[in-house]
């Protein structure tokens, strides 16, 4: 359906979902009246004014959620209103003023303004999956969550899930007001919204990701109900345009563990400093802090967590050849190193001993301008084979104990020769 000649309002137009909604509405030919807190703030407006069609069909209005009548001019002349504006904050010391009052009063103020415009056909409110999930019921894999579920405000308050409280109370007053005033209302309940950003400011999704990147030691052991922001924006338009749309709609594309989200982010931006399972460092002035404590405590913490879950069948740990081959024994060509070997901790602490080379050493070595290469052998294995070995170790019932993963033993000079074949421009040491 074309939006040409049709006028709609989007509240909180500078937000994550709203920015995409404005973009898609303009693409469909709608004239959009968007509200922002401060039309003179370029962080709230520049990305909207740069959208295709904005110059001809986008109007910006100043509005404050807690001020009654503030949305009157924005909704006047509209046939549809999308109410997306609401504070998105997970933790606060003042939930009443920071979350509850703006969410509830804001929703009522928008609907009161809409009730003054008789030709508004429908109001679409952006709610949240948080108004559905939190009622104390167990969320086991066999449980189906749908639009008939409602979060329990008392349960949410008891557990200090203040964002869920704010959205639940706001939805409740929305349905009551709509019923009493004859407003055609549809509420949408997206899960954890991901996808590209149009606005320059940080929202909750990016804030949580950045928190993990910027030094958080752990991520939550929780599942996320993911949905793409573009699908959420399009769902708003469908909820307005389709006459048959009514009631509540949950917007979730997939359920994914937090760890999978970090993996996806890592694939997108591998240089980010993500939480690592165990540090890989060859040299440090503080081995206790930088290596030993993290590796040992980290392993224990994982296993303690596993011990609490009886359904876990097996734990596969990524160790290293460094845990087996460094014990002071001579590594002559006739010596067979296998899983019965264990490195000697006392030998490793000897300042005259040297650590075995690892993969991270090679690119650093090449870029540092070294004149000579170490007269040592490397025990090489392809990372894809290592990953597959982890899966085999889990899937095969007969797997047990320790396994050494080495494809070939190669001298450093051979590694440099292979590297030189791939990139002859590299200035490599010749001795």
Q: Is the pLDDT of residue 7 over 60?
A: yes
The pLDDT of residue 428 is above 60:
no
Closest Cα to residue 393, out of 382, 381, 380, 405?
Answer: 405
Mean pLDDT lowest for which of 3-17, 47-61, 275-289, 334-348?
275-289
How confident is the model over 54-83, as a mean pLDDT? Answer: 96
- Out of 124-128, 366-370, 413-417, give the one with best mean pLDDT: 124-128
Q: What is the mean pLDDT of residues 190-218?
A: 72
Sketch the domain layout of the chain as residue ranges. 7-263, 270-422
For residue 273, pLDDT over 70 is answered with: no
Give per-residue burial for 187-223: e unless 16+ CB within 10 Å, then b.
Answer: bbbbbbbbbeebbeeebebeebbeebbeeeeebeeeb
pLDDT grade, residue 215 (50/70/90)? low
Residue scoring higher pLDDT (148 or 98):
148
Confidence of residue 220 (pLDDT cuts 50, 70, 90): low
Sheet of strand 192-194, all strands in order from the earlier edge strand to the far edge: 192-194, 223-228, 254-257
> Where does the pLDDT of residue 429 fall: very low under 50, low under 70, confident under 90, or very high at 90 and above?
low
What would the mean pLDDT of 239-256 be, rounded to a whole number?
Answer: 94
Lowest mean pLDDT among 40-44, 248-252, 254-258, 280-284: 280-284
Kindly state the average pLDDT of the residues 231-241: 97
Cα–Cα distances in angstroms (integers) from residue 336 to residues 192, 323, 324, 330, 404, in the given order:
52, 16, 12, 11, 12
pLDDT at 23: 97
101 pLDDT above the threshold of 50: yes
Q: What is the pLDDT of residue 232?
A: 97
Q: Is the pLDDT of residue 365 over 50?
A: no
Is residue 113's pLDDT more than 90?
Answer: yes
**Band of the pLDDT at 378, cuts 50, 70, 90?**
confident
Rg of the chain over all Cα atoms, to the nearest angstrom = 29
Answer whether residue 381 shows pLDDT above 90.
Answer: no
Query: What is the Cα–Cα distance from 336 to 394, expressed in whole angstroms?
Result: 26
pLDDT digits (tens, 9 = 90+) for 172-187: 999 999 999 999 999 9
For residues 21 and 237, the answer to whether their CB atoms sit within 8 Å is yes
Chain segment 321-362, per-residue pLDDT in tens: 776 566 666 666 776 777 776 766 555 555 555 544 444 444
Active site (catalytic) residues: 167
- Kindly tell me if the per-residue pLDDT of 156 is higher than 80: yes
Q: What is the mean pLDDT of residues 194-220?
A: 68
The CATH architecture annotation of domain 7-263 reads 3-Layer(aba) Sandwich (3.40)
CB-based burial label for 322 (10 Å; 0-12, 13-18, 19+): middle
Residue labelled with tokens 């392809």: 382
Dihedral sign for Cα atoms in the order 389, 393, 399, 401: positive
């Amino acid at each position: 359906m074309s939006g040409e000649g049709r006028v709609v309002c989007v509240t909180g137009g500078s937000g994550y979902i709203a920015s995409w909604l404005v973009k898609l509405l303009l693409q469909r030919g709608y004239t959009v009246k968007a509200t922002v807190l401060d039309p003179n703030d370029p962080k709230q407006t520049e990305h909207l004014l740069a959208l295709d069609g904005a110059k001809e069909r986008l109007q910006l209005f100043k509005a404050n959620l807690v001020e009654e009548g503030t949305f009157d001019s924005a909704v006047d002349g509209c046939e549809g209103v999308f109410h997306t504006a609401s504070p998105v904050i997970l933790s606060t010391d003042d939930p009443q003023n920071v979350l509850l009052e703006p969410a509830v009063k804001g929703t009522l103020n928008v609907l009161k303004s809409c009730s003054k415009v008789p030709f508004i056909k429908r109001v679409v409110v952006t709610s949240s999956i948080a108004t559905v999930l939190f009622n104390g019921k167990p969320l086991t894999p066999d449980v189906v969550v749908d639009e008939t579920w409602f979060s329990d405000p008392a349960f949410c308050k008891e557990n200090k899930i203040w964002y869920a409280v704010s959205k639940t109370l706001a939805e409740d007053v929305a349905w009551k007001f709509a019923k009493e005033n004859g407003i055609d209302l549809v509420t949408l309940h997206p899960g954890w919204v991901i996808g590209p950003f149009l606005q320059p400011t940080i929202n909750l999704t990016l804030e949580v990701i950045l928190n993990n990147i910027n030094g958080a030691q752990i991520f939550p052991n929780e599942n996320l109900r993911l949905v793409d922001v573009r699908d959420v924006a399009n769902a708003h338009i469908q909820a307005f345009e389709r006459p048959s749309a009514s009631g509540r709609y949950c917007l979730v594309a997939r359920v994914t563990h937090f760890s999978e989200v970090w993996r996806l982010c890592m694939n997108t931006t591998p240089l980010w400093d993500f939480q690592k399972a165990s540090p890989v460092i060859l040299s440090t002035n503080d081995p206790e802090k930088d290596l030993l404590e993290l590796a040992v405590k980290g392993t224990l913490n994982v296993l303690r967590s596993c011990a609490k879950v009886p359904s876990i069948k097996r734990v596969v740990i990524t160790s290293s050849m460094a845990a087996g081959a460094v014990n002071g024994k001579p590594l002559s060509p006739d010596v067979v190193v296998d899983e019965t070997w264990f490195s000697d901790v006392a030998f490793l602490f000897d300042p005259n001993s040297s650590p075995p080379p690892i993969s991270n050493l090679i690119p650093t070595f090449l870029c540092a301008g070294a004149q000579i290469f170490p007269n040592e052998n490397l025990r090489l294995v392809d990372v894809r084979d290592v990953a597959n070995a982890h899966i085999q170790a889990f899937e095969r019932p007969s797997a047990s104990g320790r396994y050494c993963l080495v494809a070939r033993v190669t001298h450093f000079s051979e590694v440099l020769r292979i590297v030189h074949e791939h990139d002859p421009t590299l200035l490599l040491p010749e001795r």
